[in-house]
Structure 1
Amino acid sequence: MTDRALDLKPVLAILTASAGAIASQLPGLSFFTDYTPPSFGLMTLLTGGLTLAVFVWVLASTPRSSNFAGFGVATIVIAVLLAVIYLALLSWVTVPAPIETGIDERFQIGFGLLDFSLTDRARTLLQSHNGSTPQDLMLAVAGFRPGGAELLWKPWTVTSAWLLLVCNFILTYFLWSLGLALIATRLRR
């Protein structure tokens, strides 16, 4: 009976570390579900799977004797910095629909009001309405609908801005999960 109890100790250690690590994800999950890129759709589900995959990979492949907690903390710091960059990008390359439209959604645009990103129509609107914002432009062409942004921003810049957002989002989420998983290896001891 004593031998059996000793056999369960490593399993309990892994379960404890996993539960602690997953519970520590809650603040991050709130960020990653509230600020997903526009049109991310079902890919949001991937973030949950990514978390589990990272935790299983780290906990299964990291030797018990190694101490990666310091590296985990550094990884989390990088993830937080990338999250700040992500929020700046999100406000630059997306536009929230005005409250009066009744649409609770962000719309993907190109790279703000940078000239290379704008269509001729957008440039004309900007010249006639000095001080316009991307939201003003979208309202001027009833752009808060699918495909509306392409009336004002070149389609390739809309796609490029979206890809930049998605890559930053996934990298931030991966590093956040990796950092927490590496810290969780410390709990396994």
Structure 2
Amino acid sequence: MSDPFRIDEQPVPVAGEPPGVDLYDAFARLMERRATLESLLVQERDRIDAERRELALGLLDVCDALDQVLLRQLPRELSGVSAAVDKLRDNLEATQRLMQRNLGRLGVTRMRRSNVADPERCDIVAVEDRAGLPEDTILAEVTAGYWQDGGVLRRARVVVSRLPDTPPEAPDVPAAPAPPADPAAPEPPRPPESPDDTEG
């Protein structure tokens, strides 16, 4: 019976180092090539991101045009005026929703309108005096703002309030006249004379 623990495999011959090959130099050249490829990959990603941004900004022009038509030419107040106007508004709103979905494929979402202008997200294009509102309250949104991939693609353009420079003046109220002197009132007592004034 043979020994089960006996090693009888023959060693595999290993070829020697190829003549004329410097492994350290070859490795250094591979690392240099890897760095070059990584740099080209970053450049290609930047180019694609720039094209996506440019495409998204172009689509925002169409969104702005739809917003203006719906806001100025077909406001909600015209609902019920005629079936044709209602149908046109419904079609434009459907087109607007379709644009928003397509923008979503590019990582673009519309900013929610806030009450107060945020300098990180808004550009103030006009200011109106409003005594009853806090400073920088948004009164109107000229164009909407949009995000892309978590960053600001385009800032919103807004009209905000400010407090008037001078508060409104209070009306002039005449002062009340002094009451007339009472002739029956006793005279006030006279101060006592000093000793120097007395005769000796």
TM-score scaled by structure 2? 0.25
Higher relative contact order structure (alpha carbons within 8 Å, sequence separation ≥ 6): 1
Larger proportion of strand: 2
Which structure has greater helix proportion? 1
Max radius of gyration: which structure? 2
TM-score with structure 1 setting the length: 0.26
